[in-house]
Amino acid sequence: MNFEIKQTDKEFYQEYLQDFLPENIIDIHTHCYEKETVHSEKEQDSRLAAWPLLVADENPIEDLMETYRMMFPGKKVTPCIFPWIEPENKIVELNRYVLDCAEKHNIPALLLALPHWSAEELEARLIERKFNGIKVYLSFAPSYLPRDEVRIYDFLPPSQLEVLDRLGLAVMLHIPRSGRLKDPVNLGQILEIEQNYPNLKLILAHVGRAYCEEDVGDAFEILKKTERLTFDFSANTNAKVFEWAINAVGPQRMIFGSDLPITRMRMRRITENGKYLNLVPKGLYGDVSDDPSMREIEGEEADRLSFFIYEEIKSIREAAINTRLNKGEIEDLFFNNAHRMLGLS
């Protein structure tokens, strides 16, 4: 595990996070995998962002738990784990490792599911192996579909939604399409899922990938009519978007997630012209000149950079202050809501 806690990080944690965070935290969005199962950047599906692979080529359970110990002194963090996104021929191995870790450490886990699995196959995998739900990903949609033509149902088919609805389990959804949360096709299918499958627990990862204010459009006006839809904060640092989401659906439908290990990245995120940019120390993550989402900085500005996950929680704190959340509601964001969604005892 290649990272260290610097004095800058300690000061950031003490100033912004230590007193804000509750003692008990559930991190609903973490990837757990071994080095030998991860693919190279060159093998990455072109429909996915490339920069996350620069942070960590492995995140075994031991590294994940040590990350929490180092980054959150005085707090008890329980992760909900699932695999990294890998080619289909590795899915069985990846899910087996996650389940073994979950059983060993008594923590919740999500099954990385493939859209071509039959309803019977999905149900058998969920029940026999005691997963708390599934994680689905747009890279498993048919490869002939361009990024902007992928629909939610292309990688989360209705037959699988029926299984999840019957079992009352969670689905962690990374929505597709460059329009992100405001995309009308995404919004239409999200509303259909909410209406047609009332017992499943739908979680939109990364606040529906609304990393910039421009990604929102009228989405929250539309989605505030829902009764169960939930968002996680993972790998997002936009406090204004967080504030809008909290005002739209309430603090009981917002959940903390980190997206570790990528949020171990030393960076600060800004937005320019409706796009996000990760500011990173020059040379720390190799040559990033070809990645439009990355910009290198140096000198004193770079020295002040802390962790992506710290920046995310600082933005949650800002949104909590602006929406006047009380201590109990903050505990809901970081523990109670995830506890309920995952069906934990």
- Domains in the chain (CATH in brackets) are 7-264+308-341 (3.20.20.140)
250-268 pLDDT, tens digit each: 999 999 999 999 999 999 9
| pLDDT, position 48 | 59
Nearest to 57 by CA among 70, 43, 73, 75: 43
93-135 pLDDT, tens digit each: 999 999 999 999 999 999 999 999 999 999 999 987 789 999 9
| pLDDT, position 42 | 46
Helix segments in the chain, DSSP class H: 7-12, 61-71, 91-105, 119-129, 152-155, 158-167, 184-196, 206-209, 219-223, 239-249, 300-303, 308-322, 327-331, 337-341
Task: Identify the band that residue 138 occupies on the pLDDT scale cut at 50, 70 and 90.
Answer: very high
| pLDDT, position 52 | 73
Cβ contacts of residue 91 below 8 Å, gap of 6+? 83, 112, 114
The Cα–Cα gap between 159 and 95 comes to 21
- DSSP string for 139-170: GGS-TTS-GGG--HHHHS-HHHHHHHHHHT-E
The Cα–Cα gap between 224 and 201 comes to 16
| pLDDT, position 57 | 86
Please report, as a single letter, which amino acid is at residue 40: S
| pLDDT, position 129 | 77
Please report, as a single letter, which amino acid is at residue 248: A
Neighbour-count burial of 300, counting CB atoms closer than 10 A to its CB (0-12 exposed, 13-18 middle, 19+ buried): exposed
In this structure, are residues 298 and 281 in contact, taking their beta carbons and an 8 Å threshold? yes
Task: Identify the band that residue 45 occupies on the pLDDT scale cut at 50, 70 and 90.
Answer: low
Cα-flanking dihedrals φ and ψ of residue 25, to 5°?
-135, 140
| pLDDT, position 177 | 95
- Give the mean pLDDT of 16-29: 98
- Give the mean pLDDT of 295-305: 97
In this structure, are residues 41 and 251 in contact, taking their beta carbons and an 8 Å threshold? no
223-237 pLDDT, tens digit each: 999 999 999 999 999
Joined tokens for residue 14: 């003490």
61-105 pLDDT, tens digit each: 999 999 999 999 999 999 999 999 877 888 999 999 999 999 999
Is the whole-model pTM more than 0.85?
Answer: yes
29-43 pLDDT, tens digit each: 999 999 876 655 545
Task: Identify the band that residue 46 occupies on the pLDDT scale cut at 50, 70 and 90.
Answer: low
Cβ contacts of residue 275 below 8 Å, gap of 6+? 212, 292, 293
- Give the mean pLDDT of 300-322: 98
Nearest to 203 by CA among 143, 156, 147, 166: 156
Task: Identify the band that residue 50 occupies on the pLDDT scale cut at 50, 70 and 90.
Answer: low
| Average pLDDT across the chain, whole number | 94
The Cα–Cα gap between 206 and 140 comes to 19
For a pLDDT cut of 70, what percent of the chain falls above it? Answer: 96
User: Could you tell me which residues are beta bridge partners of residue 112?
Assistant: 135
The Cα–Cα gap between 136 and 83 comes to 11
Any idea which of 202-211, 287-296, 309-318 has the lowest mean pLDDT? 287-296
| pLDDT, position 310 | 98
